[in-house]
A and B are shown apart, each in its own frame.
Chain A
Amino acid sequence: MKTKKLNLTLNLFAGAALAFVGLAMGATSSYAQDGSTLRAVKSKGFVQCGVSQGLPGFSNADDAGNWTGIDVDVCRAVAAAVFGDADAVKYTPLSAKERFTALQSGEIDVLSRNTTWTLQRDTGLGIVFTGVNYYDGQGFMVRKSLGVSNALELAGASVCTNTGTTTELNVADYFRANSMDYELVAFEKADEVVVAYDAGRCDVYTTDQSGLYAQRLKMTDPSEQVVLPEVISKEPLGPAVRIGDAQWANIVKWTLFAMLNAEELDITSRNIDAKSSSSDPAILRFVGKEGSFGENMGLPNDWAYHIVKQVGNYSESFERHVGPNTPLGISRGLNALWKDGGLQYAPPIR
């Protein structure tokens, strides 16, 4: 009897060991080598894109499961550049704390999830940021009934935010620098923050200002909420890729630059076909009729044409998802082109 029991235990052990072996084998090659990401993306036929779990205007799924937003447009533009088909994207919704692990482990090809570019993230996490698709800053939202008009009046307030972001560090710095007490209530997900703030747990909701405008729409009474004018931090949001694959980093970087250059050259999804026959060399280079700029990245020469034709230029994307005519109603501000007084500036395609 005893031997039989022993054997049963042994079998269980052997089964568990085999399962582990499988895991170890499967997890061997997740680091990036130059060119490997593009090869892998081409062979599977789509771009795997990490997005948020639902932030209107940036990355948000509708009832039918279609993702929209300016972060989603970056993914769609990458797919348009690689495949000539902006729909060749699959989305992975990620929480703030899952996002870097998902990118490091190779689960996603691009992280385009309102992620702030910081030195620590750029150098210590095995990822590189490829540009800024939205210049943001952290702000505060309060109820109008509190009668607060200035962030310096917030001493002693309870502050709700979500964890795993630069937000809680910025708010700590701001309150400490101004010698004000506060209580930080940090939730895991943005939706939980909205519910708790709405239920009266906190006086203040703090996150990136774009996020405040987006989350305000989910409150019971959006008109009762007011976003304070102070911006307490620099939050350049942009896409990131794994370190080590310069080719793929270039593709994502120049996809964003192509959208900005298109706006600067006044090329839109509607007029690109007409413009393609113009004699302006900058436009001819852009649509791939002159030079071989796409080939150097391992892409077809008309990569930028497909981006603008199918996704649009930066302005079109902005106005479609977050601009003044959307529920978010955010003006271009810092995100205007450099020649219009903003910060958006792309190196030339030549």
Chain B
Amino acid sequence: MALPTSSTEDSGAGRLLSWWRNPEIRGVFFQILTLLIVIWVGWTVADNTIQNLNRLNIASGYDFLEDTAGFSINFSLVDYSEESSYGRALLVGFLNTVLCAGLGIVLATVLGFIVGIARLSNNWIIARLATVYVEIIRNVPLLLQIFFWYIGVLRALPNPRDSLEPIPNVFLNSRGLIVPTPILQSGTGFVFAAFVLACVGSFFLWRWARLRQQQTGQQFPVFWTSMAMIVLLPLAVFFLAGSPVSLVLPELKGFNFATGSTLVPELVALVLALSIYTASFIAEIVRSGIQAVNWGQTEAASSLGLHRGQTLRLVIIPQAMRVIIPPLTNQYLNLTKNSSLAAAIAYPELVSVFAGVVLNQTGQAVEVLSIVIAIYLSLSIVTSVFMNWYNAKFALVER
């Protein structure tokens, strides 16, 4: 079929066709079309849900957050009792999620870096051990590992009447780790002030030492001086203020310790499983990051007289970080979301408390799940924003 080429048709359909062939106009057209479809879909879904909820006579709205929860939670960072509201239960679940994710991220990062560097070790045994660790841990489903640590830890621990006492007044049994509860008295403010002062002092010491090294080439043991300052200064103030902390010792009464603070075994098992699992992925990321740095950099560092530790710390790692950070962010996000598996071992985090107990008691699935989705989304976005900022800081500055 011949295409219309005569000049008369160019003015009508032909002009339309030529617009169509303009990639920019076409792009705008498709963007508007997509936007309209997305808005229509969103509106349809929302409208449909509201209509169906009304027809089914299902209560809706977020008023239930103020109702009394009536159930108990065994591990909470803030005050919570049966008289608290569902909103308070949400806060407890949220903080517990943040706690286990935060602890997991720190431990997974430390362990992951150690194993990742160990995989590149010249020592045959260390490198093979690290490989075995990575290959076993990352190939076993996380839920199984959580059960393994939970049941494994529980079976090994005695019942409260036969508690282990590894340190005086610290007890370990199948109800958890029970430690004395510190009660802060007047004067503790000075100790905290001393701690903050030591931290600020260390920062200025570090800046001064760096400046001096740049000008004179002389080095100063910043790390050890700072550590000494941060530990010794608050300690000195603590004793000068007359030890202003009293301890409530754990006391066995009936079934369990009635006083003292308890770290539940669920949290321990969850953090162990999450960090050990995620560390195996981080180890691979670290290894790939280090291997991405050209061998010439190591040779150049050696020729400047840096020893192996310095080469790693000052030359290799800063350059490897550019490769490491983006996939590392993914692992942090994964770890946070994986913490929702805790429902299986009764750790009262967001999904277990709010999308589990509260959802079932109120029956308001749409509202409860919308809140849970919003919280996970915000947590993930905050993590991403922070990691992107950190990444930008490490990015290669091109001159």
A residues apposed to B, CB below 8 Å = 3, 6-7, 10, 13-14, 17, 20-21, 23-24, 27-28, 30-31, 96-97, 100-101, 104, 120-121, 124-126, 154-158, 160, 163-165, 168-169, 172-173, 176, 181-189, 192, 195-196, 199-201, 203, 242-244
Separation in Å of the B5 CB from the closest CB of chain A? 26
Query: With an 8 A cutoff between CB atoms, is B65 at the interface?
Result: no
Separation in Å of the A157 CB from the closest CB of chain B? 4
CA distance A299 to B156 in the complex (A): 59
Whether the Cβ atoms of A31 and B55 lie closer than 8 Å is yes
User: Are A156 and B175 CB-contacts (below 8 A) given A10-B31, A101-B365, A199-B151?
Assistant: no
Contacts of A183 in B (CB 8 A): 72, 74, 175, 256
Contacts of B345 in A (CB 8 A): 187, 192, 196
Separation in Å of the B63 CB from the closest CB of chain A? 12
Contacts of B363 in A (CB 8 A): 100, 120-121, 124-125
Whether the Cβ atoms of B58 and A125 lie closer than 8 Å is yes
B residues apposed to A, CB below 8 Å = 23-24, 27, 30-31, 34, 37-38, 41, 44-45, 48, 52-53, 55-59, 70-74, 82, 150-151, 154-155, 157, 159, 174-175, 253-256, 258, 265-266, 343-346, 348, 352, 355-357, 359-363, 365
Whether the Cβ atoms of B174 and A157 lie closer than 8 Å is no
User: Are A20 and B41 CB-contacts (below 8 A) given A187-B346, A243-B56?
Assistant: yes
How would you classify the secondary structure of chain A's contact residues: helix, strand, loop or mixed? mixed
CA distance A20 to B175 in the complex (A): 47
Pick from B24, B256, B360: contact of A164, CB under 8 Å: B360
Q: A17-B41, A195-B151 are in contact. List 14 more A-B contacts (CB 8 A).
A: A24-B44, A96-B360, A104-B58, A121-B363, A126-B58, A156-B254, A164-B359, A168-B71, A184-B73, A185-B346, A186-B71, A186-B357, A188-B346, A189-B344
Separation in Å of the B399 CB from the closest CB of chain A? 27
User: Are A28 and B34 CB-contacts (below 8 A) given A21-B41, A199-B155?
Assistant: no
CA distance A223 to B151 in the complex (A): 22
Whether the Cβ atoms of B254 and A30 lie closer than 8 Å is no
A selection of 17 A-B contacts at a CB cut-off of 8 Å is: A7-B27, A17-B38, A31-B52, A96-B360, A100-B360, A100-B365, A158-B175, A164-B356, A165-B360, A168-B72, A183-B256, A186-B346, A188-B343, A188-B352, A196-B154, A199-B155, A243-B56
Q: Which residue of A lies closest to B174 (CB)?
A: A200
User: Are A124 and B58 CB-contacts (below 8 A) given A30-B52, A169-B361, A182-B72?
Assistant: yes
How would you classify the secondary structure of chain B's contact residues: helix, strand, loop or mixed? helix
Q: What 8 A-B pairs are tightest by C-beta distance, nearest first?
A: A126-B56, A164-B360, A156-B254, A199-B154, A3-B23, A125-B363, A126-B58, A31-B55
Whether the Cβ atoms of A188 and B344 lie closer than 8 Å is yes
* Number of A-B pairs, beta carbon distance below 8 Å: 156
CA distance A146 to B359 in the complex (A): 35
CA distance A187 to B269 in the complex (A): 14
Whether the Cβ atoms of A28 and B48 lie closer than 8 Å is yes
Most buried by A among B72, B154, B253, B254: B72
Contacts of B258 in A (CB 8 A): 156, 181
Whether the Cβ atoms of A24 and B71 lie closer than 8 Å is no
